Structure 1
């Protein structure tokens, strides 16, 4: 029996192993935390997204001339039907969920969702058929391992500095994201407002969305979204915020490219409630609004959150990924009444922003929430938008957000 080595025993690696076993392969798993037998000459090596290309096991087999691919790549070899790939530094989960939500309501065939969005592609690839549509959220880690994988439609929502603890510079991170364009056959949806993506807007197969330019294929102006001879009031949607208007516009272009009538798509979006930990309203207590934006893991997502509110008391900070926060100093001065910083970056952020707002470092999330509540007045928004990853204090952003909500719910 042909042997395949899976490097990494996270959910993506295990899903790839299950798929390959169903296809008749003998699967061996390697994980740094365990002592594992390593085969001499596997027919294929599949690495989990979290395993960097510089890993010694990956390098070992590449030097031997053995093919090394990622989990999405191997799953793609068994995908049927149409594939939509969505990437971006921010907004990709909401856009992926929104497109899936609409397709589930208006498409007659099977619809699947996965990738970086919870479910590895390998878990459903074998269930797809010629009429199905797979909506995939794809991270830079997943895209950098693509080889022959193809999307019919892709979207690049934005690319701003992130994951600089894995990539040597922003340009390397950008290249990883934009590799998806080379794996797209029919249509690319692009953010016209992102200067890093300006060259993509000139491609014949591109459709663009914009908050600023009326020359985009879909654009926002005066509270309305305009697309061809169709327009609608963005304030009617249950999901709020500057960034969600962008996500809605991108979703409409993706769905239109898939043959879905824009009016039907907008109608189907009206009961989409948004995702947990994305500008999620937790509670209003004594006129003070608590917002959980724990998914905010970089400065761009923090900026979008601040653009969505005024009279903000901010709680931010977390693991240091080497990102520069100074570009949002003016916005902090304009929107933030007081800021409480936590985690590995807490003291650095306190020092950076102390000249534009009242800033304090707190040793725990609970202390920050309690202090924010004590300093707030009716009409204020206590915004938990860390702008950093969670791994210095929490298992992941979901755990971080749940703990924030628990602390808020216990306030008297």
Structure 2
């Protein structure tokens, strides 16, 4: 895949030339603060601007590094002096300051793009609408267990820029959202993984699915014949795009529906992985991550491991002992024979579908929050088969009632995690599961999905 992009003028500056060159960072979260530190280390005149309040611990860091910053405003006189701007992924294109920068022709890039200029590490980049964090964490786990000098960054952990400034890794495994990919131009993945594409964040893409798909495929830009593109051969949106475009990288698909000569496929209960140089087989009942969606995730990680020629025993062992990340199908406790699972990271319908699909028995499902224009139709079949009751957790639950009242007799409204957990506990029976998998963003009642998940875990332990 090839794209024409403007090459930033700042990339050719030597360290002495950077002195006095203004670099502005918009947004002072993990990504922005890390970028500011790396920029200062590289000799730029750094200014950080956040339109909202900056968290105290980030302010302390910026003050300690003597980096100038502002909060609750954007001072255009400061910002428009920039030779280049690093934009945090949460800031949309329609933000007035971003529009103004575009009009002035000032280069706007992502933290990942900026940090990539200062590392020679090989990059494994992972994107997709669902499964990114799990696959990124599993891939990192395998590589680390194999003894590689590897870092974990992107949409997870410490910022990539901060790690580039403070560490010397040979490899990085990066979780990449579409928002990050949108502002990446010259950055190149040695191994690019695209797990799947389902409608999400369409408000950021003018409600055009093709814009979102194009954004996801930016993960393949700049790849050469020495690089690899790993993708799901069962994903309709992925295949549709690929029939209309060419790719320089070596293609390694994965599938649970058909046999493939290269990549990975499922043969009965066994995963078969074939790369040009290596082969691996593993039975799915030995995987730490169960469920159809996790077979896909494990295939993508396994292909990566074999590209890097890791030993089969190490790969099998790592896939068997991996512990999933917090808030993603995280088993919290079993109380009175009822299993409680925290899947607060499921902020869209497709994520909840995957969670329900992996549940073995009857489920009391906790749903709700900020509805991003959800189409609940794709959940209907699974809900009617597996869900005995729905507990709503949100300020406005009308659309959940409308979607499922014909399928489910019991739908309960709650406004706090404690009430939701109590209600679910009384509705569930021994051998059943209480699943928090909201299919919605958390901003109506919580700061983020982590706070929602943490409150859920606390409420369960207080039963």
Which bin holds the TM-score, normalised by the shorter protein? Answer: over 0.9
Equivalence for 2:354: 304
- SS of equivalent to 1:249: helix
Equivalence for 1:192: 233
- SS of equivalent to 2:254: strand
Residue correspondence of structure 1 range 25-40 to structure 2 within 5 A: 25-33=44-52, 34-37=72-75, 38-39=77-78, 40=80
Equivalence for 2:143: 103
- Range moving further from structure 2, 367-376 or 212-221: 212-221
Measured against aligned partners, the alpha-carbon deviations of 1:33-84 in whole angstroms (never above 9, x if no partner) come to 3245433432111111111122222222222222111111111111212111
- Does structure 1 conserve the Cα–Cα contact (< 8 Å) formed by 2:25 and 2:32? yes
Which aligned runs of 4 or more in structure 1 are off by greater than 4 angstroms?
Answer: 199-204
Equivalence for 1:18: 37
Pick aligned residue for 1:322 from 373, 376, 386: 373
- Does structure 1 conserve the Cα–Cα contact (< 8 Å) formed by 2:363 and 2:428? no
- SS of equivalent to 1:151: coil
Pick aligned residue for 2:199 from 161, 171, 174: 161
Equivalence for 2:16: none
Pick aligned residue for 1:205 from 234, 245, 250: 250
For residues 429 and 358 of structure 2, the distance between their equivalents in structure 1, rounded to whole angstroms, comes to: 19
Pick aligned residue for 2:294 from 244, 257, 261: 244
1:401 lines up with 2:442 in the alignment: no
State the 1:263 CA deviation.
Answer: 4.2
What stretches of structure 2 of length at least 5 have no aligned partner?
1-19, 53-71
Equivalence for 2:68: none
- Does structure 2 conserve the Cα–Cα contact (< 8 Å) formed by 1:87 and 1:156? yes
State the 1:272 CA deviation.
Answer: 1.2
- Range moving further from structure 2, 27-36 or 147-156: 27-36
TM-score, L = length of structure 1: 0.94
Residue correspondence of structure 1 range 8-407 to structure 2 within 5 A: 8-33=27-52, 34-37=72-75, 38-39=77-78, 40-108=80-148, 110-127=149-166, 132-169=170-207, 170-185=209-224, 186-199=227-240, 205-215=250-260, 217-228=263-274, 230-309=280-359, 310-344=361-395, 346-358=397-409, 359-407=411-459
- Does structure 2 conserve the Cα–Cα contact (< 8 Å) formed by 1:5 and 1:30? yes
- Does structure 2 conserve the Cα–Cα contact (< 8 Å) formed by 1:252 and 1:262? no
Q: Say how many residue pairs are matched.
A: 409
- SS of equivalent to 2:204: coil
For residues 406 and 327 of structure 2, the distance between their equivalents in structure 1, rounded to whole angstroms, comes to: 29
State the 1:200 CA deviation.
Answer: 6.3
- Does structure 2 conserve the Cα–Cα contact (< 8 Å) formed by 1:190 and 1:200? no
For residues 391 and 337 of structure 1, the distance between their equivalents in structure 2, rounded to whole angstroms, comes to: 27
For residues 382 and 250 of structure 1, the distance between their equivalents in structure 2, rounded to whole angstroms, comes to: 29
- SS of equivalent to 2:221: helix
What stretches of structure 1 of length at least 5 have no aligned partner?
none
Question: Cα RMSD between the aligned structures?
Answer: 1.9
Query: In the superposition, relative to structure 1, how do residues 347 and 201 fare at CA in structure 2: closer, same or farther (>3 Å)?
Result: same
Measured against aligned partners, the alpha-carbon deviations of 1:285-341 in whole angstroms (never above 9, x if no partner) come to 121111111111111110111111121111111111112111221111111111112
For residues 152 and 33 of structure 2, the distance between their equivalents in structure 1, rounded to whole angstroms, comes to: 18
Query: In the superposition, relative to structure 1, how do residues 351 and 200 fare at CA in structure 2: closer, same or farther (>3 Å)?
Result: closer
Measured against aligned partners, the alpha-carbon deviations of 1:179-223 in whole angstroms (never above 9, x if no partner) come to 112243310110111101114667562111112222373122433
State the 1:260 CA deviation.
Answer: 2.2
For residues 397 and 268 of structure 2, the distance between their equivalents in structure 1, rounded to whole angstroms, comes to: 37
- Does structure 2 conserve the Cα–Cα contact (< 8 Å) formed by 1:80 and 1:128? no
- SS of equivalent to 2:205: coil
- Does structure 2 conserve the Cα–Cα contact (< 8 Å) formed by 1:115 and 1:136? yes
For residues 173 and 119 of structure 1, the distance between their equivalents in structure 2, rounded to whole angstroms, comes to: 26
For residues 10 and 285 of structure 1, the distance between their equivalents in structure 2, rounded to whole angstroms, comes to: 37
For residues 347 and 41 of structure 2, the distance between their equivalents in structure 1, rounded to whole angstroms, comes to: 37
TM-score, L = length of structure 2: 0.84
Equivalence for 2:61: none
- Does structure 2 conserve the Cα–Cα contact (< 8 Å) formed by 1:47 and 1:69? yes
For residues 130 and 396 of structure 2, the distance between their equivalents in structure 1, rounded to whole angstroms, comes to: 20
- Does structure 2 conserve the Cα–Cα contact (< 8 Å) formed by 1:350 and 1:360? no
